[in-house]
A and B are shown apart, each in its own frame.
Chain A
Amino acid sequence: MDADVRQMTWTELEALCTNLEKACSKQLRGEEAAAFAKLASFYGAKKEVKDNASIADLVALINADLSEGYARANKEAAAANDRGAKRALLWGEKSSKLLKSLLARYEKQGAALTENTGVFVCEICGFVYVGEAPPDICPICKVPSFKIHPVRKEAI
Protein backbone atom coordinates (compact mmCIF):
# COMPACT_ATOMS: atom_id res chain seq x y z
CA MET A 1 0.00 0.00 0.00
CA ASP A 2 1.41 3.38 -1.08
CA ALA A 3 1.07 6.77 0.57
CA ASP A 4 -1.72 8.72 -1.11
CA VAL A 5 -0.14 11.98 -2.21
CA ARG A 6 -3.55 13.55 -2.92
CA GLN A 7 -4.75 12.99 0.64
CA MET A 8 -1.58 14.12 2.40
CA THR A 9 -1.01 17.52 4.00
CA TRP A 10 1.98 19.64 2.98
CA THR A 11 3.63 18.83 6.29
CA GLU A 12 3.21 15.08 5.77
CA LEU A 13 4.72 15.39 2.29
CA GLU A 14 7.59 17.40 3.73
CA ALA A 15 8.28 14.80 6.45
CA LEU A 16 8.17 11.93 3.96
CA CYS A 17 10.72 13.82 1.83
CA THR A 18 13.04 14.65 4.75
CA ASN A 19 12.92 10.97 5.69
CA LEU A 20 14.04 10.01 2.18
CA GLU A 21 16.67 12.75 2.26
CA LYS A 22 18.13 11.14 5.39
CA ALA A 23 17.93 7.69 3.80
CA CYS A 24 20.01 8.92 0.85
CA SER A 25 22.53 10.70 3.11
CA LYS A 26 23.08 7.47 5.02
CA GLN A 27 24.06 5.84 1.73
CA LEU A 28 26.32 8.84 0.94
CA ARG A 29 24.16 9.70 -2.06
CA GLY A 30 24.61 13.44 -1.80
CA GLU A 31 22.84 14.47 -4.99
CA GLU A 32 19.78 12.35 -4.33
CA ALA A 33 19.69 13.69 -0.77
CA ALA A 34 19.89 17.26 -2.09
CA ALA A 35 16.99 16.64 -4.48
CA PHE A 36 14.80 15.27 -1.67
CA ALA A 37 15.80 18.27 0.45
CA LYS A 38 14.69 20.60 -2.34
CA LEU A 39 11.38 18.77 -2.68
CA ALA A 40 10.94 18.92 1.10
CA SER A 41 11.46 22.67 1.14
CA PHE A 42 8.99 23.09 -1.73
CA TYR A 43 6.34 21.38 0.42
CA GLY A 44 7.59 23.06 3.60
CA ALA A 45 7.07 26.50 2.10
CA LYS A 46 3.40 25.66 1.53
CA LYS A 47 2.64 24.75 5.15
CA GLU A 48 -0.23 26.68 6.62
CA VAL A 49 -0.54 28.37 9.99
CA LYS A 50 -3.57 27.28 12.02
CA ASP A 51 -5.62 30.04 13.60
CA ASN A 52 -6.09 29.99 17.38
CA ALA A 53 -3.81 26.98 17.83
CA SER A 54 -3.35 26.19 21.52
CA ILE A 55 -1.50 23.89 23.87
CA ALA A 56 -4.87 22.26 24.59
CA ASP A 57 -5.04 21.18 20.91
CA LEU A 58 -1.61 19.57 21.22
CA VAL A 59 -2.61 17.79 24.42
CA ALA A 60 -5.75 16.43 22.72
CA LEU A 61 -3.81 15.15 19.71
CA ILE A 62 -1.08 13.49 21.70
CA ASN A 63 -3.61 11.90 24.04
CA ALA A 64 -5.41 10.45 21.03
CA ASP A 65 -2.11 8.99 19.76
CA LEU A 66 -1.38 7.43 23.12
CA SER A 67 -4.84 6.08 23.83
CA GLU A 68 -5.82 4.95 20.31
CA GLY A 69 -3.24 5.45 17.56
CA TYR A 70 -0.35 3.54 19.09
CA ALA A 71 -2.63 0.86 20.56
CA ARG A 72 -4.11 0.11 17.13
CA ALA A 73 -0.76 0.21 15.34
CA ASN A 74 0.92 -1.97 18.00
CA LYS A 75 -1.81 -4.56 17.58
CA GLU A 76 -1.45 -4.61 13.80
CA ALA A 77 2.36 -4.78 13.98
CA ALA A 78 2.21 -7.62 16.53
CA ALA A 79 -0.30 -9.59 14.41
CA ALA A 80 1.90 -9.17 11.32
CA ASN A 81 5.04 -9.77 13.39
CA ASP A 82 6.56 -6.74 11.69
CA ARG A 83 9.82 -6.17 13.57
CA GLY A 84 10.63 -2.83 11.96
CA ALA A 85 7.19 -1.42 12.68
CA LYS A 86 7.26 -2.71 16.26
CA ARG A 87 10.61 -1.00 16.81
CA ALA A 88 9.48 2.36 15.40
CA LEU A 89 6.22 2.22 17.37
CA LEU A 90 8.02 1.40 20.61
CA TRP A 91 10.40 4.35 20.26
CA GLY A 92 7.70 6.71 19.01
CA GLU A 93 5.30 5.83 21.80
CA LYS A 94 7.96 6.40 24.46
CA SER A 95 8.93 9.75 22.94
CA SER A 96 5.25 10.72 22.68
CA LYS A 97 4.80 10.03 26.39
CA LEU A 98 7.70 12.37 27.11
CA LEU A 99 6.15 15.04 24.89
CA LYS A 100 2.90 14.68 26.78
CA SER A 101 4.68 15.06 30.10
CA LEU A 102 6.63 18.05 28.76
CA LEU A 103 3.33 19.79 28.00
CA ALA A 104 1.91 18.91 31.41
CA ARG A 105 4.98 20.28 33.16
CA TYR A 106 4.96 23.42 31.04
CA GLU A 107 1.28 24.02 31.77
CA LYS A 108 1.99 23.75 35.49
CA GLN A 109 5.28 25.63 35.75
CA GLY A 110 5.26 27.91 32.71
CA ALA A 111 8.52 29.65 31.87
CA ALA A 112 10.06 28.47 35.17
CA LEU A 113 10.34 24.96 33.68
CA THR A 114 13.19 25.97 31.40
CA GLU A 115 14.41 29.10 33.14
CA ASN A 116 17.85 27.91 34.24
CA THR A 117 18.18 24.74 32.31
CA GLY A 118 18.45 23.28 28.83
CA VAL A 119 16.07 21.25 26.67
CA PHE A 120 17.36 18.51 24.35
CA VAL A 121 15.97 16.39 21.52
CA CYS A 122 17.47 13.12 20.22
CA GLU A 123 17.74 13.35 16.44
CA ILE A 124 17.25 9.60 16.07
CA CYS A 125 14.10 8.86 18.08
CA GLY A 126 12.69 12.19 19.28
CA PHE A 127 13.53 11.61 22.97
CA VAL A 128 13.07 14.85 24.91
CA TYR A 129 15.04 15.85 27.98
CA VAL A 130 14.91 18.88 30.29
CA GLY A 131 18.13 19.34 32.29
CA GLU A 132 21.69 20.60 32.33
CA ALA A 133 23.21 18.04 29.99
CA PRO A 134 21.68 15.12 28.07
CA PRO A 135 22.36 11.54 29.25
CA ASP A 136 25.46 9.84 27.75
CA ILE A 137 23.25 7.34 25.95
CA CYS A 138 19.70 8.02 24.79
CA PRO A 139 17.43 6.01 27.10
CA ILE A 140 15.02 5.24 24.25
CA CYS A 141 17.14 4.39 21.20
CA LYS A 142 20.54 4.03 22.95
CA VAL A 143 22.41 6.33 20.58
CA PRO A 144 25.42 8.17 22.13
CA SER A 145 24.77 11.74 23.27
CA PHE A 146 26.41 13.44 20.28
CA LYS A 147 23.09 12.80 18.52
CA ILE A 148 21.12 14.56 21.27
CA HIS A 149 20.91 18.28 20.55
CA PRO A 150 19.97 21.34 22.58
CA VAL A 151 16.98 23.40 21.45
CA ARG A 152 17.71 27.00 22.33
CA LYS A 153 15.45 29.65 23.69
CA GLU A 154 15.34 32.40 21.11
CA ALA A 155 14.12 35.91 21.68
CA ILE A 156 12.42 37.48 18.68
Chain B
Amino acid sequence: MHAARNLRLCTKDCVCLFICPTGATNTENGQIDFEKCLDGCRLCVDACSSGAIYLVSSTYPKPQPKEEGVVKAIFDLARSKAEQEDVARSISEASDDAALRQICSVFEQSSRIIGEDLWRESGYIIAQSEATRTLLKTMIKEHGNLEGFPLEEVEELLSRLS
Protein backbone atom coordinates (compact mmCIF):
# COMPACT_ATOMS: atom_id res chain seq x y z
CA MET B 1 0.00 0.00 0.00
CA HIS B 2 1.25 3.50 -0.75
CA ALA B 3 -0.11 7.04 -0.76
CA ALA B 4 -0.84 8.90 -4.00
CA ARG B 5 -1.76 12.48 -4.72
CA ASN B 6 -4.65 13.56 -6.94
CA LEU B 7 -2.94 16.47 -8.67
CA ARG B 8 -6.27 17.91 -9.70
CA LEU B 9 -7.34 18.36 -6.06
CA CYS B 10 -4.01 19.36 -4.52
CA THR B 11 -4.04 23.03 -3.48
CA LYS B 12 -0.31 23.10 -2.58
CA ASP B 13 -0.85 24.07 1.04
CA CYS B 14 2.01 21.73 1.85
CA VAL B 15 0.76 20.36 5.16
CA CYS B 16 1.77 16.95 3.89
CA LEU B 17 5.34 18.07 3.31
CA PHE B 18 6.31 18.37 6.94
CA ILE B 19 4.02 15.65 8.19
CA CYS B 20 5.51 12.78 6.19
CA PRO B 21 8.18 10.96 8.23
CA THR B 22 10.22 10.04 5.14
CA GLY B 23 9.86 13.02 2.84
CA ALA B 24 7.95 10.90 0.33
CA THR B 25 5.47 13.73 -0.25
CA ASN B 26 8.22 16.16 -1.29
CA THR B 27 9.04 15.47 -4.94
CA GLU B 28 9.94 17.30 -8.12
CA ASN B 29 7.05 15.93 -10.17
CA GLY B 30 4.32 16.65 -7.61
CA GLN B 31 3.43 12.97 -7.22
CA ILE B 32 4.34 11.09 -4.05
CA ASP B 33 7.52 9.00 -4.11
CA PHE B 34 5.93 5.56 -3.86
CA GLU B 35 9.27 3.91 -3.01
CA LYS B 36 9.77 6.12 0.03
CA CYS B 37 6.24 5.70 1.32
CA LEU B 38 6.01 3.63 4.50
CA ASP B 39 3.40 1.11 3.39
CA GLY B 40 0.70 3.75 3.68
CA CYS B 41 1.12 5.08 7.23
CA ARG B 42 -1.60 7.53 6.08
CA LEU B 43 -0.45 10.54 8.15
CA CYS B 44 -0.58 12.66 4.99
CA VAL B 45 -3.97 11.28 3.95
CA ASP B 46 -5.54 12.39 7.20
CA ALA B 47 -3.70 15.73 7.26
CA CYS B 48 -4.65 16.93 3.79
CA SER B 49 -7.62 19.24 4.08
CA SER B 50 -8.14 19.15 0.31
CA GLY B 51 -8.77 15.41 0.33
CA ALA B 52 -6.08 15.15 -2.32
CA ILE B 53 -4.20 12.11 -1.01
CA TYR B 54 -5.44 8.55 -1.00
CA LEU B 55 -3.98 5.10 -0.47
CA VAL B 56 -3.39 2.72 -3.37
CA SER B 57 -3.70 -0.96 -2.53
CA SER B 58 -0.96 -3.33 -3.55
CA THR B 59 -3.33 -6.29 -3.61
CA TYR B 60 -6.95 -6.48 -4.69
CA PRO B 61 -9.67 -9.00 -3.98
CA LYS B 62 -10.39 -11.54 -6.70
CA PRO B 63 -12.99 -10.30 -9.18
CA GLN B 64 -16.44 -11.85 -8.66
CA PRO B 65 -17.00 -14.92 -10.82
CA LYS B 66 -19.21 -14.15 -13.83
CA GLU B 67 -22.08 -16.23 -15.19
CA GLU B 68 -21.25 -17.76 -18.54
CA GLY B 69 -24.45 -16.51 -20.17
CA VAL B 70 -23.71 -12.92 -19.17
CA VAL B 71 -20.13 -13.11 -20.37
CA LYS B 72 -21.13 -14.64 -23.72
CA ALA B 73 -23.73 -11.95 -24.38
CA ILE B 74 -21.26 -9.22 -23.42
CA PHE B 75 -18.51 -10.69 -25.64
CA ASP B 76 -20.95 -10.61 -28.57
CA LEU B 77 -21.68 -6.93 -27.97
CA ALA B 78 -17.98 -6.12 -27.59
CA ARG B 79 -17.35 -7.84 -30.92
CA SER B 80 -20.08 -5.79 -32.56
CA LYS B 81 -18.64 -2.56 -31.14
CA ALA B 82 -15.20 -3.50 -32.50
CA GLU B 83 -16.72 -4.19 -35.90
CA GLN B 84 -18.42 -0.79 -35.85
CA GLU B 85 -15.08 0.82 -35.06
CA ASP B 86 -13.63 -0.95 -38.10
CA VAL B 87 -16.47 0.16 -40.36
CA ALA B 88 -16.31 3.77 -39.14
CA ARG B 89 -12.54 3.88 -39.59
CA SER B 90 -12.81 2.36 -43.06
CA ILE B 91 -15.42 4.90 -44.18
CA SER B 92 -13.23 7.67 -42.85
CA GLU B 93 -10.08 6.42 -44.56
CA ALA B 94 -11.82 6.23 -47.91
CA SER B 95 -13.25 9.74 -47.69
CA ASP B 96 -11.89 13.28 -47.92
CA ASP B 97 -15.09 14.83 -46.58
CA ALA B 98 -14.11 16.49 -43.27
CA ALA B 99 -17.65 16.42 -41.85
CA LEU B 100 -18.09 12.71 -42.60
CA ARG B 101 -14.68 11.94 -41.15
CA GLN B 102 -15.58 13.80 -37.98
CA ILE B 103 -18.80 11.81 -37.55
CA CYS B 104 -16.89 8.57 -38.16
CA SER B 105 -14.25 9.56 -35.63
CA VAL B 106 -16.95 10.24 -33.03
CA PHE B 107 -18.47 6.87 -33.82
CA GLU B 108 -15.13 5.13 -33.56
CA GLN B 109 -14.18 6.75 -30.26
CA SER B 110 -17.54 6.21 -28.64
CA SER B 111 -17.68 2.56 -29.79
CA ARG B 112 -14.22 1.97 -28.32
CA ILE B 113 -15.25 3.42 -24.96
CA ILE B 114 -18.44 1.34 -24.87
CA GLY B 115 -16.40 -1.71 -25.91
CA GLU B 116 -13.77 -1.20 -23.21
CA ASP B 117 -16.49 -0.91 -20.60
CA LEU B 118 -17.98 -4.20 -21.83
CA TRP B 119 -14.58 -5.90 -21.50
CA ARG B 120 -14.30 -4.51 -17.97
CA GLU B 121 -17.55 -6.12 -16.95
CA SER B 122 -16.83 -9.45 -18.58
CA GLY B 123 -14.03 -10.31 -16.18
CA TYR B 124 -11.21 -7.91 -17.17
CA ILE B 125 -11.81 -5.17 -14.61
CA ILE B 126 -8.34 -5.38 -13.11
CA ALA B 127 -5.10 -6.65 -14.57
CA GLN B 128 -4.10 -8.68 -11.49
CA SER B 129 -6.40 -11.58 -12.25
CA GLU B 130 -6.18 -15.13 -13.48
CA ALA B 131 -8.20 -14.15 -16.54
CA THR B 132 -5.64 -11.50 -17.55
CA ARG B 133 -2.70 -13.82 -16.97
CA THR B 134 -4.34 -16.50 -19.11
CA LEU B 135 -5.02 -13.89 -21.77
CA LEU B 136 -1.39 -12.75 -21.88
CA LYS B 137 -0.09 -16.33 -21.99
CA THR B 138 -2.42 -17.16 -24.87
CA MET B 139 -1.33 -14.01 -26.71
CA ILE B 140 2.30 -15.11 -26.40
CA LYS B 141 1.41 -18.59 -27.63
CA GLU B 142 -0.70 -17.41 -30.57
CA HIS B 143 1.04 -14.19 -31.61
CA GLY B 144 4.43 -14.26 -29.88
CA ASN B 145 6.24 -15.16 -33.09
CA LEU B 146 4.59 -12.43 -35.22
CA GLU B 147 6.77 -9.50 -36.20
CA GLY B 148 6.59 -6.60 -33.79
CA PHE B 149 5.03 -8.55 -30.90
CA PRO B 150 6.39 -6.95 -27.71
CA LEU B 151 7.46 -10.30 -26.21
CA GLU B 152 9.86 -8.95 -23.60
CA GLU B 153 7.32 -6.43 -22.31
CA VAL B 154 4.55 -9.02 -22.11
CA GLU B 155 6.76 -11.50 -20.24
CA GLU B 156 7.82 -8.74 -17.85
CA LEU B 157 4.16 -7.78 -17.47
CA LEU B 158 3.24 -11.37 -16.60
CA SER B 159 5.85 -11.48 -13.86
CA ARG B 160 4.71 -8.12 -12.48
CA LEU B 161 1.10 -9.25 -12.40
CA SER B 162 1.80 -12.57 -10.68
* Chain A contact residues, CB within 8 Å of chain B: 1-3, 5-6, 8-9, 11-13, 15-16, 18-20, 22-24, 27-29, 31-32, 34-36, 38-39, 42, 45, 47-51, 53-55, 57-58, 61-62, 64-65, 69-70, 72-73, 75-77, 79-80, 82, 84-85, 87-89, 91-92, 95-96, 98-99, 102-103, 106, 110-111, 113-115, 119, 121-128, 151-156
* Chain B contact residues, CB within 8 Å of chain A: 4, 34, 56-57, 64, 66-91, 93-94, 96-103, 105-107, 109-127, 131-132, 134-135, 138-139, 142-143, 148-150, 153-154, 156-157, 160-161
B83 adjacent to A28 (CB under 8 Å): no
Known: A32-B157, A39-B153, A48-B86. 4 other contacts (CB 8 A): A53-B94, A76-B67, A88-B121, A127-B110
Chain B residues with CB under 8 A of A62: 84
B150 adjacent to A73 (CB under 8 Å): no
**Can you spell out 30 A-B residue pairs with CB atoms less than 8 angstroms apart?**
A2-B135, A5-B142, A13-B139, A15-B78, A15-B115, A15-B119, A19-B119, A23-B125, A32-B160, A58-B84, A61-B83, A61-B84, A65-B77, A73-B70, A76-B72, A79-B67, A88-B74, A88-B117, A92-B77, A95-B114, A103-B107, A111-B97, A111-B99, A113-B103, A119-B102, A125-B114, A126-B109, A128-B110, A154-B101, A156-B96
CB contact under 8 A between A126 and B87, given known A12-B78, A58-B107, A69-B80: no
A3 adjacent to B122 (CB under 8 Å): yes
Chain B residues with CB under 8 A of A76: 67, 69-70, 72-73
Chain A residues with CB under 8 A of B71: 1
For residue A71, give the distance in angstroms from its CB to the closest CB of chain B. 9
Chain B residues with CB under 8 A of A20: 124, 127, 132
Most chain B beta carbons < 10 A, residue from A13, A34, A99: A99
Chain A residues with CB under 8 A of B157: 32, 35-36
B142 adjacent to A35 (CB under 8 Å): no
**With A and B bound together, what is the CA distance between A2 and B85 in angstroms?**
23
Q: Would you list the 8 A-B pairs with minimal beta carbon distance, nearest first?
A: A53-B90, A73-B73, A111-B99, A80-B67, A126-B113, A126-B110, A19-B116, A88-B121
User: Contact check: which of B81, B117, B118, B150 meets A35 at CB < 8 Å?
Assistant: B150
